[in-house]
Chains A and B, each alone.
Chain A
Amino acid sequence: MAQSIAKEFTKGLWAEIPPFRLVLGLCPTLAVTKSVENGIGMGIATTFVLVFSNLLISLLRNVIPSKVRIACYVVIIATFVTIVELLMQAYTYELFLKLGIFIPLIVVNCIVLGRAEAFASKNGPVLSVADGLGIGLGFTLSLAALGAVREILGNGTITIWGGTPVFEMGANFMPFQFMIEAPGAFVGLGLMLCLMNLIGKK
């Protein structure tokens, strides 16, 4: 049992890491990864939703009639997303302003609905929570990594919570503005996907 929990948890970190392995949830991936901070914030919000929706859907999997399952999943997911939105508004208002519309859009994030349909509806609550945590953490790591690449190239800094950057390129570094604009997201994501495929190639 413990082994399979560990397996479900770790698969989200490499073998099925979204959005690189499961190319799902691209909308927030492309839109909010202008900086490491935004990426981590979005990742944590999504992880919260994933864990709780997986848990609830797994507990209710024998009660929910299969014909209306998607509607039930969407109600459950939307509830948790709204809770996250309210909590972020109450406690991390600045981050809420930066992520803006992409918080409510977690409802239609394919990763969340995908895990509900593909995993939580077929497995027990413990495994489902492990799956949600793993996938959520993988998503957070991916967003942070993509955010880091874009922020370093586009701005020359890494800033995490607070005004002063924790890392700065030398004074001779010319920021590559393109990377923190929308098209830079596609280029960054494409390059990282390519890198992942090269590393994963046997």
Chain B
Amino acid sequence: MREMISMIVVLTVLTAVSGGLLAAVQSGTELQIENQVLKFQKAPAIKDIFPDATNDPLAERFTVKAEDIELQVFPGILPDGSKAIIFETKGVGFGGPIGLMLGINLDTDKIIDVRVTTHAETPGIGSRAKDDLAFVSQFSGLGFDTKFAIKSDSGDIDAMSGATVTSKGLCVAAAQAKEIYQKLKPEIVKQMK
């Protein structure tokens, strides 16, 4: 009995201390990690989505708050003068959360392009969503009347073969983006003026 109690106590104390330590390190590095993600993940994605924006979307980023949602928005001015925005939503893939950045034209309400940012998908399988543009290019030019789900779920998106979970996760992210966009658009337009 004594042995049993000592096992339970040692393991509990050990896991509690590790948990506390990790929480401390996590909160200490959070800001720095966010900067790194901005620099190495979001900046290249923004450059891909708005290759010839006439402003600097990264520098002009702002935060929109409405209806309990807080959203970081990167505004872009396209060469033809129309206004567009980029923001990120998250879906859950095979290895954890996947970030999806969507560029949306504010005048036509259509998706310009999307890119995958942070992910933990299996290299060579789910990671194709990021490395091989065949999947994400399906989203280009779609409007928000599209059903963001893979075809076997009676949606409009072709899944990547072998990476169904990743494809589904990205569709969830896109569907969520549609919802957020419809809710926040008035606020975004107001702030972009």
Contact = CB atoms under 8 A, between A and B. Distances in A.
B14 A75 contact: yes
B81 interface: no
A87 B29 contact: yes
B182 interface: no
- Dominant SS among interface residues on chain B: helix
Nearest to A89: B33
B123 A101 contact: yes
Contacts of B37: 93
B11 A68 contact: yes
A138 B25 CA distance: 28
Interface residues of A, number: 23
B133 to A, nearest CB: 18
Given A79-B18, A101-B123, A93 B10 contact: no
Contacts of B26: 86
Interface string A133-144: 000000000000
B29 to A, nearest CB: 4
A101 B124 CA distance: 12
A46 B3 CA distance: 33
Nearest to B35: A90
Given A65-B3, A79-B21, A71 B11 contact: yes
Nearest to B13: A63
A100 interface: yes
B18 A90 contact: no
Interface residues of B, number: 22
A97 interface: yes
A67 interface: yes
Contacts, number: 54
B36 A67 contact: no
Interface in A75-96: 75-76, 78-79, 82-83, 86-87, 89-91, 93-94
Interface string A14-53: 0000000000000000000000000000000000000000
A91 B10 contact: no
Contacts of B11: 68, 71-72, 75
A5 to B, nearest CB: 28
Contacts of A63: 10
Contact of A100 (B14, B21, B123): B123
Contacts of B95: 101
A64 B10 contact: yes
Interface in B5-36: 6-7, 10-11, 14-15, 18, 21-22, 25-26, 29, 32-33, 36
A83 B21 contact: yes
- Counting chain A CB atoms within 10 Å of each CB, the highest count among B18, B40, B123 belongs to B18
Contacts of A91: 32
A97 B120 CA distance: 10
Nearest to A102: B123
A89 B32 CA distance: 8
A90 B6 CA distance: 37
9 contacts: A63-B10, A65-B10, A71-B11, A76-B14, A83-B21, A83-B22, A86-B26, A91-B32, A101-B123
Interface of A: 63-65, 67-68, 71-72, 75-76, 78-79, 82-83, 86-87, 89-91, 93-94, 97, 100-101
Given A76-B14, A93-B40, 9 more contacts: A63-B10, A65-B6, A65-B10, A75-B14, A82-B22, A82-B25, A86-B26, A89-B36, A90-B32
